Amino acid sequence: MKKITGMSVLLTMFFFENEVSSQTDTLFKSNGNPIITHKFTADPAALVYKDKVYLYTGRDVAAPKENRYVMHEWLCFSTSDMKNWTEHVLPLNVKAFKWAKGDAWASQVIERNGKFYWYVAITHDSTNKGKAIGVAVADKPEGPFADAIGKALITNDMTTEANISWDDIDPTVFIDDDGQAYLFWGNTTLHYVKLTENMIEMDGTFKRVDVPKFTEAPWIHKRNGWFYLSYAYEFPEKIAYAMSRNINGPWLYKGILNEIAGNCNTNHQAIIEFKDKWYFIYHNGALVPDAGSFHRSVCIDYLYYNKDGTMKRVIMTSEGLKPVGK
């Protein structure tokens, strides 16, 4: 295992698109927010599995001042105390999806029956233009992952409401207590569909959720019998949320959960419970102040609930978290 030291945090590294990725797992400590300072990371998703948090992110590698997303791979980090992190050897690259052209956009990993399914948004090749959702599978949360289907699970032509090519993005998966799995996704329009037990086929027709000013980045979690649907609201994005007693709705809109993240027009949250605390994971543009919305960095802050189950507005901090148990 390699250790990252302060000296290795060189700004030039962020912008070096062809940087050779480490071939061994790498250890580092987070020192407040952003939690990862040696790479730009975006679109966090997290999985709690066997005493650890696995954090999955995209990676921004646009050149300085390049105002577009340049993203070729997804990254995987793990921790057992929210302070000491391991970056795992590169677990997934767009090249794993032979039918895709590129763009490692937002994603989420979920475990079922000892296998790990990584749902990703990616650009399809010219045989079905636009963004699509693919699935990779692995035997371990840190990979290696391989394309689970050999084609896209969802393609742009399957949804027509928004009439844009990037509406089929930002997958989030959720398995309810009865074992039924659901995939929610979308930009402008929020869709969901049931998944079959094997997690790589759809079971039934697409349904829609209408929540105020939905932009993208849905995330579903459940607590004390309430389903929570958080999502990016407006643009630049705040995070808003709705609650329901039933995953099929009706969803009750509950307002803003997180304000616009500093120096960044997207926000992209994940919400987890780990060792009796709740965490709100998101990205901002704070790592390199002038870099902005296409050079993002993942941050984590605490999430608190009110007695009635509503969530308190997140306080974004630069101090970040205390190690678990401290």
Residues lying near ligand FUB in the complex (CB under 6 A) are found at 42-43, 58, 69, 105-106, 121, 169-170, 216-217, 266, 268
Decide whether 166 or 226 has the Cβ nearer to ligand FUB. 166
Q: Say if residue 171 is preceded by a cis peptide, omega within 30 of 0.
A: no
Residue 112 C-beta: closest distance to ligand FUB, Å: 23
Residue 31 neighbours by CB distance under 10 Å: 13
- Smallest CA-to-CA distance from 109 within 140, 70, 69 is with 140
Decide whether 71 or 148 has the Cβ nearer to ligand FUB. 71
Decide whether 106 or 148 has the Cβ nearer to ligand FUB. 106
Residue 324 C-beta: closest distance to ligand FUB, Å: 27
Residue 245 C-beta: closest distance to ligand FUB, Å: 27
Decide whether 87 or 216 has the Cβ nearer to ligand FUB. 216
Decide whether 69 or 214 has the Cβ nearer to ligand FUB. 69
- State the chain's maximal CA–CA distance in angstroms: 53
26 Cβ contact partners less than 8 Å away, ≥ 6 residues apart: 1, 2, 3, 4, 86, 87
Residue 155 C-beta: closest distance to ligand FUB, Å: 16
Residue 43 C-beta: closest distance to ligand FUB, Å: 5
Q: How far apart are CA 147 and CA 236, in angstroms?
A: 33
User: φ and ψ at 293, to 5 degrees?
Assistant: -70, -10
62 Cβ contact partners less than 8 Å away, ≥ 6 residues apart: 68, 69, 70, 294, 295
Q: Which 3 state secondary structure label does DSSP give 213?
A: coil
